[in-house]
Chain A
Amino acid sequence: MAEPLLRVESLRLDIADHESSRSVLLDVSFDVRPNEVMGLVGESGSGKTMTALTIMRLLPPAARASEGRIAFEGEDLLRLNESAMRQVRGSKIAMIFQNPRAALNPLMRAGEQVARALMLHRGLTAAEARRQAVELLRHAGISDAESRARAYPHQLSGGMAQRVLIAMMLACRPALLIADEPTTGLDVTIQAQIFDLIKEIQAETGASLLLITHDLGVVSEVCQRVAVLYAGQIMEQAPVAELFHHPSHPYTERLLGSILRVDQVAELDTSRAIAFASIDYDNPGCRFANRCPYVLEACWVRRPEPRWLAEDHVVFCHLRNEAGT
């Protein structure tokens, strides 16, 4: 198997406020391989955005990656100094965000922002950058690119703004794209267009994509492998078809049981869904224990060892470990 492009190993991230500290990520490990779409799926509070921000080293001041490493091109990103990290950010790893308009400079025309990225990352002259910026906007599916290049972000729709960010990303030719809920807040017909565009660009440039989402439909249609994150812990990781057809962690199983499908009606059965309760970040064992229907003694005591069910399928659950022995 090819060497992974990015490998996150036993990552722990603590966020402290004036009185307490909480690990919002604990023992998070996964990798992204060359030319693949890897999904990171989780609900709010799962730490999926924090994982992306840790990789990009764009963490808020109160957050600290206290354990683990993030291997990328032979280096540990957590140990790079700020100027080396700046070389990685944008040129090698680029990120698109949930709220595209907030990620753009409101005072600068869209084309100018793409041109700046070209000047910064590819060393083009201003005139050449401006010409190519329009080209990239067109490549990102913006019709009428010349006039859109002159628009300010507030004059763009959410879908257009996301296309501008994608154009900026194209300018950098990164090896890894991180997309954090890139279509949340966009209309579903626009979402479909954006995902088609992202997949197209990914296939064309051979970049890898780490896609962060809460939407299992998106995971199913876009990703090859997926890691399921709950309360800062990886619960299960598997190839997509494997995860949907043979979910092995109770959380995954219940998450799939919570889905309302648009293409079929089923009797709504909350007994197969995740129980109503708040996330228990303080449990030293499995953080899903307080909502798990099969909870064991051990779940309150220690984190389960990984159990490999197949080459790419790993689950962290005492139940599976007991069943297996």
Chain B
Amino acid sequence: MHELSICTAIAAIVGEHAEGRPVDLVRLDVGALRQVVPDTLTYSWGVTVEGTPLAGSVLEVREIPAVLRCSTCGADTTITVPVFRCPCGSTATEVVSGEELLVTSLELAAA
């Protein structure tokens, strides 16, 4: 349940950027290689912000696919299982996306 810790960190970032203004929506990028469960995250968000100025705001999670770049053949491959090997057979790969864990933007409530 590190989703609760993550929500606490998100709330701190949102609070700093919202500067007291009401927030409707918080947009996140979550990479497929982070063991963060989007449904658990959105549930934990409700628990975390209950009774705070952010109560009622919603998380919108954009899942970012895991992409490997092969150091041997140069190809980019999207993986859906945690096997870090290029179709060419090489295990010399670099993760080029899928490790994101970012607050990207906020949507403030209309006045």
Q: Judge: A and B partners, yes or no.
A: no
